[in-house]
């Protein structure tokens, strides 16, 4: 898929770039519905296993819900993510809202890539945003490091584990687009290959599936 032409935000000079932008160039003007892919460089065992299991450079995904627009008073790009921090139950937090700065400011900890459905209408963008905002504070699926280790060893268990996930980071994004799209548009927003029911697709989609998908285009730092 041809990468869409992106205009660079003229309000930001190089001295105002975030540290990660000095490595990959300035982040383009973002839109509601843009997909943020993240690699945790100082990751624990669970994320390393996830990257190994899914054969992906990326281990996390998030979704832009408010784009930086100084004319409207939006000083930062804001995204939503379903996230956990570590393997302890108390650290599994669920769906949260953050500024993109949290990843762009720490290149020693994170790498970031961005993809987009170029054809999204404003109406569908609003539907996607409404869906994710309705699910703020929804708990993260309680992943187990032991289960990830078993999945790494046994391909059969790997498939069972991925089918059981609920509101993982990437599954949440797939569900948001699927629920927002009209029925005739839904085939255009599926990240994973065919062979699954719509409900299964929302459960098994991984950051690697989003990164490899031809349904959306890379607009920054392709991997």
Please report, for the chain, the start and end positions of each structural domain, with discontinuous segments joined by +. 15-220
Q: Which of the residues in the chain have pLDDT under 70?
A: 1-11, 85-93, 139-148, 152, 158-167, 194-202
For residue 3, the model assigns a pLDDT of 47
CATH, domain range 15-220: 3.90.1720.10
If you search the block for the tokens 């032409």, which residue do you land on?
A: 5
For residue 174, the model assigns a pLDDT of 92
**Which is nearest to 130 in space by CA: 196, 179, 169?**
179
Residue 163 token pair: 């089918």
Contact assessment for residue 104 and residue 48, using Cβ atoms and an 8 Å cutoff: no
Nearest-10 Cα torsion for 221, 42, 108, 173: 40
For residue 147, the model assigns a pLDDT of 67
For residue 86, the model assigns a pLDDT of 53
For residue 153, the model assigns a pLDDT of 79
For residue 2, the model assigns a pLDDT of 45
**Which is nearest to 211 in space by CA: 65, 111, 75?**
111
CB atoms within 10 A of CB 201: 21
For residue 4, the model assigns a pLDDT of 46
For residue 193, the model assigns a pLDDT of 73
Residue 103 token pair: 């990843």
For residue 21, the model assigns a pLDDT of 97
SS3 (DSSP) at 1: coil
């Amino acid at each position: 898929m041809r990468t869409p032409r992106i205009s660079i935000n003229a309000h930001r000079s190089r001295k105002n770039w975030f540290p990660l932008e000095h490595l990959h160039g300035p982040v383009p003007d973002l839109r509601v519905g843009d997909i943020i892919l993240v690699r945790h460089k100082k990751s624990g065992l669970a994320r390393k296993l996830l990257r190994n299991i899914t054969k992906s450079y990326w281990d996390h995904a998030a979704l832009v819900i408010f784009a930086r627009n100084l004319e409207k008073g939006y000083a930062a790009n804001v995204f939503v993510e379903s996230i956990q921090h570590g393997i302890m139950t108390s650290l599994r937090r669920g769906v949260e809202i953050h500024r993109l700065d949290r990843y762009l400011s720490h290149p020693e900890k994170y790498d970031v890539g961005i993809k987009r459905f170029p054809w999204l209408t404003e109406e569908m963008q609003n539907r996607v945003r409404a869906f994710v905002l309705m699910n703020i504070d929804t708990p993260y699926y309680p992943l187990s490091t032991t289960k990830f280790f078993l999945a790494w060893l046994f391909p059969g268990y790997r498939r069972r584990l991925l089918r059981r996930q609920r509101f993982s980071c990437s599954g949440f994004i797939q569900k948001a687009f699927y629920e927002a799209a009209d029925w005739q548009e839904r085939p255009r927003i599926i990240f994973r290959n065919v062979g699954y029911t719509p409900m299964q697709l929302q459960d098994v989609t991984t950051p690697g599936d989003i990164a490899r998908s031809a349904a959306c285009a890379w607009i920054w730092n392709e991997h």
